[in-house]
Structure 1
Amino acid sequence: MQTNKLTGILGFPVSPFDKNGALDEHALHRNITFLIEEGLEAIFVACGAGEFHAISKAEYGAILDVAVDATQKRVPLYTGVGGNIQDALSFARLSEEKGADGYLILPPYLINGEQNGLRAYLSAIIESTSLHAIVYQRDNAVLEGDTLESLLVYPQLVGLKDGIGNMEQNIEFTQRFGERLLWLNGMPMAELTMPAYWPIGFHSYSSAISNYIPHISRCFFEALKRGDHEAVRTLYKDVLLPINVIRRQKKGYAVSLIKAGMEIVGLPVQEHVRAPLVPVEKSHYKQLAQILENAHKKYPRNHISL
């Protein structure tokens, strides 16, 4: 897979669970297919939105099998790897074995390490396979410039996804390392920060709302790229900011609100999430349903002008 395909809107499917808490492989296949049909440029499974923290190794393998079958090499397929170093290495090798194109390296488990420790963690994973690797900067995994530069010896390292929001550092990174890496915006509700990220070279982002209103994500991104500030402001007012108000009400809504939105629009996903996440409260669910009803009336899926 060409890494230059990792531009634009990236799909991060959830891991659907049935009423008994089991992985719903049929729903996952349908949801991945939906994202590809909607034009998302890549698929990332078993990452944060996919509740990486809560799935077993057997489920991880099943998710990969479903994703490989659903994508059929039409778009790049990435997985999430992380946690403790032994599990991270195991997941990376399994990703290679099952035919993924690369992986997103999530933060190490619990520990706030020194830069040389973080480098050792990332290096061990990157050099364990020939797959493309993207480093996810967030939580307890925050790189300094020299640490990132030291990792560039690995040709497998193709990108950095930022979930911190330190724009001074992001400008330093993009100016210092330029086109050596792909730059991905991984902030929560990334549409809200893309106007700041786009001009400095972050031309790709993970979109939570693309799981249920991908045409809105596309409408927003195309307006941003062409400099249509009025269209961007209108989408913020009508859809993006109201959803974000709900997302910020509870910890974990970054995942459970996606599942609620998918259920509301009729995709085969139930609201079930695994502890310690909690489902969306009924009042918030109703608010989201109203926002989505209004959004579909004003921005009908088949009549969006890009």
Structure 2
Amino acid sequence: MNNLTGILKGTGVAIITPFTKTKAVDYAALERVIEHLIKGGVEYIVTLGTTGETPTLTKNEKLEIIHFTYEKVNNRVPVVVGIGGNNTQAVIDDVKSYPLDKATAILSTAPYYNKPSQQGLYEHYKAIAEAAPKPVLLYNVPGRTGRNLSSATTLKLAHEVPNIAGIKEASGDFQQCMEILRDKPNNFLVVSGDDAISLPLIALGMDGVISVAANAFPKEFSNMIRYCLDGNYQLARPIQYQLLQAFDLMFAENNPAGVKSFMHQLTLIENELRLPVVPVSSELEQKIKNWLKLYQQ
């Protein structure tokens, strides 16, 4: 098994895709965001995650974003590339054809909408891992996919498929998380996919987080995660509680509309999204402004 537990420990960020007012990819803003994240001390960047609005990006845009991200990151932190979908063969074609030479790993979301059985999920991931030139991280996010990747299926993949190196677990189910942590192979990476509950999940033994909130607050969030990993919960807890309402506001209507609103207020990006996702309501935007005002005092 590929050991990513040393390389991808801590805070990874599912980076947003900034758009211009004409809805084109805003590369100047993307460079700003990458610098913001690296200067903020995050451990690695995940490009083309669902937070990057990948369902609305063309294949050419995806390839351009990967190349641009490699170039601007310039080996300062690892880069993980998101390649997932609900057509297994199409995902296999992508993992074979995408520029992955500079990637540390592939993050692949569980198939959505078609609701495969646990056996179907197992076969889907096994086929992708066997075709992939880099280690594969499973991504379980039943709130978005409509199907939970069970702890039994995760553990079967972890023990039986050599190129599956870890999981981003976003079920919010503590029992399921504990079963995975208890029975996983030694070097199998387990990270939280839920910002608000990363602290308790690291207390249970997770290796870190792939975060949305860290797009806006890389320094605070990655410091908190490092404190947790060091077992210093006395320093971690105040940051967690300081950011708790921000997590609520961020996900109140839609991701990434929430985090993009925060980042727009922080003058990092334009507040632009592609349909079917729209900016947050004016009421929520006002709450975000009010929260930031208090936070920045």
Structure 2 contact 10–226 (Cα < 8 Å) conserved: no
Structure 1 contact 64–98 (Cα < 8 Å) conserved: no
Give the C-alpha shift of residue 176 in structure 1. 0.8
Map of 1:1-306 to 2, 5 A cutoff? 3=4, 4-83=6-85, 84-97=87-100, 99-139=102-142, 140-151=146-157, 152-187=159-194, 190=195, 192-225=196-229, 231-237=235-241, 239-250=242-253, 252=254, 254-267=255-268, 269-297=269-297
User: Higher relative contact order by CA 8 Å / sep ≥ 6: 1 or 2?
Assistant: 2
Structure 2 contact 45–79 (Cα < 8 Å) conserved: yes
Give the C-alpha shift of residue 170 in structure 1. 1.4
With the length of structure 1 as denominator, give the TM-score of the two structures.
0.86
SS of 1:179's equivalent in the other structure is coil
Q: Identity percentage over the alignment? A: 23
Cα 1:96–1:156 change in 2 (3 A) is farther
Cα 1:109–1:157 change in 2 (3 A) is same
Give the C-alpha shift of residue 30 in structure 1. 2.4
Structure 2: gaps (5+ residues): none
Give the C-alpha shift of residue 33 in structure 1. 2.4
Higher mean alpha-carbon deviation, 217-226 vs 62-71, is at 217-226
> How many angstroms apart in 1 are the aligned matches of 2:111 and 2:167?
16
Structure 2 contact 96–133 (Cα < 8 Å) conserved: no
| Deviation by residue 1:51-81 (Cα, 9 ceiling, x = unmatched) | 1221111111011011110122222111111
Cα 1:149–1:211 change in 2 (3 A) is closer
Cα 1:197–1:20 change in 2 (3 A) is same
With the length of structure 2 as denominator, give the TM-score of the two structures.
0.89
Give the C-alpha shift of residue 135 in structure 1. 0.1
> How many angstroms apart in 2 are the aligned matches of 1:281 and 1:177?
42
Give the C-alpha shift of residue 9 in structure 1. 1.0
> How many angstroms apart in 1 are the aligned matches of 2:81 and 2:263?
21
> How many angstroms apart in 2 are the aligned matches of 1:14 and 1:114?
31
Structure 1 contact 7–41 (Cα < 8 Å) conserved: yes
SS of 2:167's equivalent in the other structure is strand
Cα 1:214–1:31 change in 2 (3 A) is same
SS of 2:220's equivalent in the other structure is helix
